[in-house]
Amino acid sequence: MINIKEDERLSVLNHSCAHLLAQAVKHLYPEAKFWVGPVISEGFYYDIDLGDYKITDEDIPKIEHEMKKIAKDGKRIVRHEISKSEALEMFKDDPYKIDLIERMDEDETVISCYTQGDFTDLCRGPHVETVKELKHFKLLKFSGAYFKGDSNNKMLQRIYGVCFETEEDLNAYLKELEEAQERDHRKIGKNLGIFTSHDLVGKGMPLWLPNGAIIRKELENYIYAKEQKLGYKHVYTPCVGTVDLYKTSGHWDHYKENMFPSMKVDEEEFVLRPMNCPHHMLVYANELHSYRDLPIRIGEFATDFRYEASGAVKGLERVRCMCQNDAHLFVRPDQIGEEFKKVVELILDVYHDFGIKNYKFRLSLRDSEDKEKYFDDDKMWNDAEAKLREVLNDLGIPYYEAIGEAAFYGPKLDVEVKPAVGPEVTLSTCQLDFLLPRRFELSYIDSEGKSQIPVVLHRAIFGTFDRFTAFILEETKGALPLWLSPVQVNIIPVNNNYHLEYCEKIKDSLENYRVELDKREEKLSYKMRESVIRKIPVTLIIGQKEVDDNTVSYRMYGSEETKTVSLSDFQKLLEDKIKNKN
RNA sequence: GCCAAAUUAGUUUAAUGGUAAAACAAGGCACUCGUAAUGCUUAGCUGUGAGUUCGAUUCUCGCAUUUGGCACCA
């Protein structure tokens, strides 16, 4: 998918188109006041205050029509430069523009405006020469958007659109948007019987169907093996904890709003756990540790519950009940770099196995101005942030820094991916934590017999199994690699009367695989069609030829070619595919 | 949570102020078949609670869920 914002020409075009949109809106709704109209990776938008009037579906074609009309007139787009005081005078009736102008630097003496026909907007530019160039655009959607992105502020109305240089480019882009919908894990998940939901269970509470459960189990087995090899110790702990547990950890103060409300049982007050750190702290505290024992790596496939805002819930991607591929690494301060590096390497290893290529590393740091949100210890933060940067630089991994995205207890490295529909989400995460070990009074005995406080790394490679499955379904368009596929081999006999016995024999010989034998009294082509629709990786066609020659004929998903081989060669082929994860 | 829109059979869709149609899927019968749909047949549906109305799936309102954004995302 093309990123408009990263293309210089398209950026100018789309930004100019945002002005065209504003002009058209001004023509149709003279009372309209305008906030900002930036270019984004998907095109452009403009935030507009229409008073009490709400944009409807019928307005969009009208606005588009007006935009075309203005574009046809072909007015030039002219730049003026004015001083701050002139600007304040010029836009004196427009509180939004005044807001923008007042925030501009006093020294920045030149403020620019762009005029096209009867419409002038404050803008840094640049723009295209004339509105005539804005021919191939489309308004895509509209919604409410908080003024300055703050939910305490008034909601403005935002209209999104996109503009291209040619009609072909525009159509190609719109087609891509449509195709993205086909790739949406919610659609695939429904079609392939991966997951469902029910009002009686509740919002954001997915039910994993048998096919989804197989995928999840394979993911669990895969990451469990990796983690065991790396010296992780896996545990099981309860999905609830007492309120006091979360008061001890500090989450009660910082995270209560995102937790399900507490429930009283006898004299104890419980919450459904939103994360597993406190439980794992207590696993660590169960015995006395020597500096020689560290690092200690506690892993768990742990079900957590979070009170996600109702508008945020989405398929398997954002849920209220999820299973984390969680682990907490208890390390000595001198081991931070090495352990953090191992986690990053594990992430890279796993992404390689899944063929995931489009992801970004985000180093999430605190906003040092915000003493409310973050644990207050400047030295701790500075040391931790420096450590993470150092490792990333040593590994030569490209990343970007995000101020104010850290957890309250420490900085973190997140891996972000882009779903088929909607904004980027975090998949993997690795978080450094100097705080929780202190709150739980964790310790180890150093070489001089003194008690020391360990450092904790929180990490989740898949993030949650839910979100990772959603992502993998979109990456593969539901055509999962053999090792993950709920049904791996589908056997279709040409004639049930003559070939079934041989098919049963083949099925028995593939006992290590998930095999289906389609015995239904249906036409071969009918069964083949269904096998393809279900995206089963391998379909076997078994008829008289195969029975006579003691062979199998197979067709791989995505190919129309049929190959015939001996059963042992076929088994070898499956083994190789599983081994190579393709 | 906020701004909107949507909700009809298992699924995808149609229609209507006089309680609903089709395709696929499912059940039954026939066909015994070589790589994306054999034919016939049976059963199955208006999210939920109010209101308006002689009568509501259709109009109005509330609720739930879903969808697109915004905000949130330890």
Is residue A430 annotated as part of the catalytic site, yes or no? no
Domain boundary among A133, A158, A183: A183
Domain boundary among A476, A507, A528: A476
Instruction: Tell me: do A372 and A239 sit in the same domain.
Output: yes
* pLDDT single digits (tens) A237-265: 999 999 999 999 999 988 999 999 999 99
Rounded CA-CA distance A556/A512 in Å is 19
Rounded CA-CA distance A259/A262 in Å is 8
Predicted local confidence at residue A27, as pLDDT: 93
Residues A552-564, mean pLDDT to the nearest whole number: 96
* pLDDT single digits (tens) A35-55: 999 999 999 999 999 988 889
Task: Report helix, strand and coil shares of chain A as percent, to nearest 5.
Answer: 40, 25, 35
- Report the protein residue whose CA lies nearest the C1' of nucleotide B24: A530
Is residue A113 annotated as part of the catalytic site, yes or no? no
Give distance CA A209 / C1' B10 (Å): 14
* pLDDT single digits (tens) A360-410: 999 999 888 777 778 778 888 888 889 899 999 999 999 999 988 888 888
Predicted local confidence at residue A244, as pLDDT: 96
Q: Is A261 left (phi over 0), alpha (psi -120 to 50) or beta?
A: beta
Is residue A458 annotated as part of the catalytic site, yes or no? yes
Domain boundary among A476, A509, A527: A476
Predicted local confidence at residue A82, as pLDDT: 85
User: Of A97, A127, A158, A306, which one is the catalytic site residue?
Assistant: A306
* pLDDT single digits (tens) A421-470: 988 999 999 999 989 999 999 999 999 999 999 999 999 999 999 999 99
- Report the protein residue whose CA lies nearest the C1' of nucleotide B70: A145
Q: What is the mean pLDDT of chain A?
A: 93
A483 pLDDT above the threshold of 70: yes
- Total domains in chain A come to 3
Is residue A324 annotated as part of the catalytic site, yes or no? yes
Give distance CA A387 / C1' B13 (Å): 57
A110 pLDDT above the threshold of 90: no
Instruction: Tell me: do A466 and A427 sit in the same domain.
Output: yes
Predicted local confidence at residue A109, as pLDDT: 66
Instruction: Tell me: do A131 and A15 sit in the same domain.
Output: yes
Instruction: Tell me: do A179 and A321 sit in the same domain.
Output: no
Is residue A234 annotated as part of the catalytic site, yes or no? no
Predicted local confidence at residue A108, as pLDDT: 62
CATH code assigned at A162: 3.30.980.10
* Higher pLDDT, residue A112 or A370: A112
Instruction: Tell me: do A311 and A458 sit in the same domain.
Output: yes
ipTM of the complex: 0.94
Instruction: Tell me: do A297 and A414 sit in the same domain.
Output: yes
The residue range of the domain holding A573 is: 489-579
> Residue A233 phi/psi, 5° resolution?
-110, 125
A107 pLDDT above the threshold of 70: no
Q: Is residue A481 part of a domain?
A: no
Is residue A321 annotated as part of the catalytic site, yes or no? no
Q: Which nucleotides of chain B are near protein (any atom < 7 Å from a CB)? A: 1-5, 11-12, 25, 30-38, 64-74
Token reading at A354: 């899944």
Residues A169-183, mean pLDDT to the nearest whole number: 93
Residues A111-135, mean pLDDT to the nearest whole number: 89
User: Of A412, A499, A535, A555, which one is the catalytic site residue?
Assistant: A412
Instruction: Tell me: do A325 and A365 sit in the same domain.
Output: yes
Instruction: Tell me: do A468 and A557 sit in the same domain.
Output: no
Give distance CA A562 / C1' B74 (Å): 52
Predicted local confidence at residue A124, as pLDDT: 84
**Nucleotide in closest CA–C1' contact with A421:** B68
Is residue A412 annotated as part of the catalytic site, yes or no? yes
Give distance CA A152 / C1' B71 (Å): 9
Instruction: Tell me: do A206 and A161 sit in the same domain.
Output: no
- Report the protein residue whose CA lies nearest the C1' of nucleotide B1: A309
Peptide bond into A210 cis (omega under 30): no
Rounded CA-CA distance A457/A434 in Å is 9
Kindly indicate the confidence band of residue A337, based on its pLDDT and cuts at 50, 70 and 90.
very high
* pLDDT single digits (tens) A516-541: 999 999 999 999 999 999 999 999 99
Burial class (CB within 10 angstroms; exposed 0-12, middle 13-18, buried 19+) of A266: exposed
Q: Is residue A229 part of a domain?
A: yes
Instruction: Tell me: do A425 and A314 sit in the same domain.
Output: yes
User: Of A17, A113, A123, A277, which one is the catalytic site residue?
Assistant: A277
CATH code assigned at A339: 3.30.930.10
Instruction: Tell me: do A63 and A202 sit in the same domain.
Output: no
